[in-house]
Homo-oligomer: A and B are copies of this chain.
Amino acid sequence: MILTVTLNAALDVTYRVEALVRHATHRVAEVQERAGGKGLNVARVLHGLGEPVRATGLLGGDTGARVQRLLIADGIASDFHSVADETRRTVAVVDSDATGFWEPGPVVTPEEWNAFQARYASLVREAAVVVLSGSLPRGLPVDAYATLITAARDAGARTVLDTSGDPLRAALSADPDIIKPNLSELRTLLFVLDAEDGADDADERWPTSEANIAGGAGAVRVLGPGAVVVSRGPDGLLAATPEGLWRARPPETLTGNPTGAGDASVAALARGLRDRAAWPDVLADAVALSAAAVAAPVAGTVDPETATRFRTTINVTRMTAEGDTRPGPPLASSAESAAPTTADVKESPAC
């Protein structure tokens, strides 16, 4: 079973309007609601693929009750801990594009956090892999993910972490098996690690060339994570792993809604980790699910057949020949499934 953890869950509300006009009143013809937060998006993708999954985290108040009810309607097994404060809403007003309003979410008390950890400790005993996603609600210590990763390892579960900023930085030394920063999150991490630099001239000082991404992923990996899988939007993934550096690209640039594409790739990383699959297979699966999410008519959903069709078209390349011997996720050798390799890291003109 894969356990997803969503500490700052949300009720995602979408309003479709003809055109958003500032300072006007809009009668919304159609309201869509979804149980949201990155961890729940991962759970939804896994459930849609038929993978056994359970969702945990924190829910509070009437909005939390609504999220719980939507999860039940979706058939997603869940075991959330209740908090007193209200779960947040995110409101997306969609005309030709989305305008978003994100509530701040609950303030969690130390007692609630302790009670959640006790519940989590019993849940991870049944989990092969734990996926920890998204921001931390107010009130939690910045090393909350570090604590949960350590507890998962103690219970024999592997971990995928998809968060950003300080909670990500504070979790690196807990040695999560995989982290999945996007380019902006990786850059923030590198700039914070190199504390003398400001972020104002980030684009100039750290252009997102493939060489920089590869170097950055490798640098972060030294700090603890078994693998650093960097999501590059339409350019696919670049992964620093115990078996070397990998690049996985979709065959073409897809048009569609990128919302939830990152969560779909995390779902693939989680089931690859559970199955101890070879890195090229895991990365091809991650790019395929991500592409299927972009192509889906409903944001963040994945049609399994579309994903299967995409999977055969993903180009996975080993960028370095040598692996290393640091302990990482115990994945199978990838030699038999590796696509054409290149021996050196080149800058991609697309970056």
Residue positions of A touching B, CB distance < 8 A: 13, 15, 17, 20-29, 31, 61-63, 65-66, 69, 89, 91, 93, 96-104
Known: A15-B91, A15-B101, A21-B99. 5 other contacts (CB 8 A): A26-B99, A28-B101, A29-B104, A62-B65, A62-B66
15 sample A-B contacts, Cβ–Cβ < 8 Å, listed by A number:
A13-B89, A17-B101, A22-B22, A23-B96, A23-B98, A24-B99, A24-B100, A25-B102, A27-B102, A28-B103, A28-B104, A31-B104, A61-B66, A62-B65, A63-B66
Residues of chain B within 8 A of A66, CB atoms compared: 61-63
Q: Are A27 and B104 touching (Cβ within 8 A)?
A: yes
Alpha-carbon gap, A29 to B103, bound state (A) = 7
Alpha-carbon gap, A269 to B31, bound state (A) = 36
Query: Residue on B with the closest CB to A68?
Result: B62
Q: Tell which of A22, A26, A98, A103 has the most Cβ of chain B within 10 Å.
A: A22
Q: Are B22 and A100 touching (Cβ within 8 A)?
A: no
Q: Are A97 and B23 touching (Cβ within 8 A)?
A: yes
Alpha-carbon gap, A89 to B101, bound state (A) = 15
Alpha-carbon gap, A21 to B99, bound state (A) = 8
Q: Of B91, B97, B102, B104, which is within 8 A of A101 by CB?
A: B91
Alpha-carbon gap, A102 to B15, bound state (A) = 9
Nearest chain B CB to A262's CB is how many angstroms away?
15
Query: Residue on B with the closest CB to A64?
Result: B62
Residues of chain B within 8 A of A93, CB atoms compared: 101
Residues of chain B within 8 A of A22, CB atoms compared: 20, 22, 99
Nearest chain B CB to A108's CB is how many angstroms away?
17
Residues of chain B within 8 A of A17, CB atoms compared: 101
Q: Are A31 and B65 touching (Cβ within 8 A)?
A: no
Residues of chain B within 8 A of A15, CB atoms compared: 91, 101, 103
Query: Residue on B with the closest CB to A31?
Result: B103
Alpha-carbon gap, A31 to B13, bound state (A) = 15
Query: Residue on B with the closest CB to A100?
Result: B25
Q: Of B26, B91, B97, B104, which is within 8 A of A102 by CB?
A: B26
Residues of chain B within 8 A of A103, CB atoms compared: 15, 28, 31
Q: Tell which of A13, A66, A99 has the most Cβ of chain B within 10 Å.
A: A99
Residues of chain B within 8 A of A25, CB atoms compared: 98-102
Nearest chain B CB to A302's CB is how many angstroms away?
23
Alpha-carbon gap, A26 to B103, bound state (A) = 9
Alpha-carbon gap, A153 to B28, bound state (A) = 36
Residues of chain B within 8 A of A24, CB atoms compared: 99-100
Alpha-carbon gap, A27 to B89, bound state (A) = 11
Residues of chain B within 8 A of A69, CB atoms compared: 62
Alpha-carbon gap, A24 to B25, bound state (A) = 19
Alpha-carbon gap, A126 to B279, bound state (A) = 74
Residues of chain B within 8 A of A20, CB atoms compared: 22, 99
Residues of chain B within 8 A of A62, CB atoms compared: 62-63, 65-66, 69
Residues of chain B within 8 A of A61, CB atoms compared: 66
Q: Tell which of A24, A101, A102 has the most Cβ of chain B within 10 Å.
A: A101
Alpha-carbon gap, A154 to B65, bound state (A) = 41
